């Protein structure tokens, strides 16, 4: 017996899936759109995609577990991503993750109990000239130092 919760796709998302249903490479495009709408791919959403595309659920899980981009757990309200690409790593990316982890009392890859923060190391963000880089909710912070972390987090802690 499945213990998944029901998920409701917007009419726009259903329309997008219908539009892509017969196109090559449709599964990845559809999964990107689902993640864009929900911020992650839940089991219920994967089951809905399976039904709408007539693709086995195992195939969908194979794709979302293979590609690093797809998230299987709901991120925090403030999803903090620290670049661990070569430039960022060499310029202190791990130290930034360690500082965030300490200040938030949150291990890398986790979501805070209150759902306010999530923290993850990610592959290249594409801002190598600003290394080390982190993003929070799509906003890019470049040349981040450990000393700046508390100031960056302060407004989010109050929200």
Q: Identify the bridge partners of residue 80 per DSSP, sorted by sequence position.
A: 119, 136
pLDDT confidence of 1, banded at 50, 70, 90? very low
Cis bond before residue 132 (omega within 30° of 0): yes
Question: Cα(7)–Cα(4) distance, rounded to whole angstroms?
Answer: 9
pLDDT digits (tens, 9 = 90+) for 6-50: 789 999 999 999 999 999 889 999 999 999 999 999 999 999 999
Q: Where are the domains of the chain?
A: 11-66, 78-158
CA angle 119, 123, 129 (to 5 degrees): 105
Q: Quick one: pLDDT at residue 69?
A: 82
Q: Do 92 and 132 meet the contact criterion of CB atoms below 8 Å apart? A: yes
For the domain made up of 78-158, the CATH class stated in words is alpha beta
pTM for the structure as a whole: 0.79
Q: Quick one: pLDDT at residue 118?
A: 96
Task: Give the pairing type, strands 134-136 and 117-122.
Answer: unpaired
Question: Cα(68)–Cα(81) distance, rounded to whole angstroms?
Answer: 13
């Amino acid at each position: 017996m499945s213990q998944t919760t029901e998920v409701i796709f917007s009419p726009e998302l259903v329309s997008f899936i219908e539009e892509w249903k017969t196109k090559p490479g449709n599964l990845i495009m559809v999964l990107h759109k689902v993640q864009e709408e929900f911020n992650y791919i839940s089991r219920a959403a994967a089951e809905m995609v399976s039904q709408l595309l007539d693709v086995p659920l195992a195939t969908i899980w194979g794709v979302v577990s293979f590609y690093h981009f797809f998230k299987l757990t709901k991120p925090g309200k403030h999803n903090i991503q620290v670049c661990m690409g070569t430039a960022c790593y060499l310029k202190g990316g791990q130290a930034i993750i360690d500082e965030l982890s300490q200040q938030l009392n949150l291990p890398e890859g986790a979501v805070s109990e209150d759902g306010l923060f999530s923290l993850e190391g990610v592959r290249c963000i594409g801002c190598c000239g600003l290394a080390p880089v982190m993003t929070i909710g799509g906003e890019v912070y470049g040349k981040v130092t450990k000393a700046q972390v508390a100031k960056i987090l302060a407004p989010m802690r109050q929200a």
